């Protein structure tokens, strides 16, 4: 499996899924995000962007939908999940 590099949440492409690896900020900010389900190790998917890119629509885990400002999402680092590609398939 190819290794991906961490990047900010706001850099994900529409429909892209990633795993949260780091949340920068003070403890109050981290607790606020945790209340929304955004914690290290959580799967997160970019489901939409508002016009002019002012708000990101995210699916956190399986059922939680959250909206974040891009400047807030910039402080959340993620590792994109590559869909199973031809180079990753195991022949049986």
| Domain-located, residue 2 | no
Residues 6+ apart with CB under 8 A from 15: 45, 46, 47
58, 55, 16, 19: which is closest to 39 by C-alpha? 19
| Domain-located, residue 54 | yes
Residues 6+ apart with CB under 8 A from 9: 18, 20, 44, 46, 56, 58, 68, 73, 74, 76, 77, 78
pLDDT at position 92? 44
To the question of pTM greater than 0.95 for the whole model, the response is no
Domain interval for residue 48: 7-84
How many structural domains compose the chain? Answer: 1
**Domain holding 16: CATH number?**
2.30.30.90
- The series of mean pLDDT values per 10 residues for the chain, 92 residues long, is 75 92 94 94 93 88 92 94 50 45
């Amino acid at each position: 499996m190819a290794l991906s590099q961490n990047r900010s949440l706001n850099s994900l492409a529409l429909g892209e899924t990633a795993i949260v690896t780091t949340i920068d900020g003070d403890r109050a900010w981290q607790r606020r995000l945790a209340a929304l389900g955004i914690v290290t190790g959580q799967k997160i998917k970019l489901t939409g962007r508002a016009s002019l890119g002012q708000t990101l629509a995210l699916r956190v885990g399986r059922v939680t939908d959250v909206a974040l400002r891009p400047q807030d999402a910039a402080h959340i680092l993620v590792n994109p999940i590559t869909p199973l590609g031809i180079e990753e398939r195991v022949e049986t």
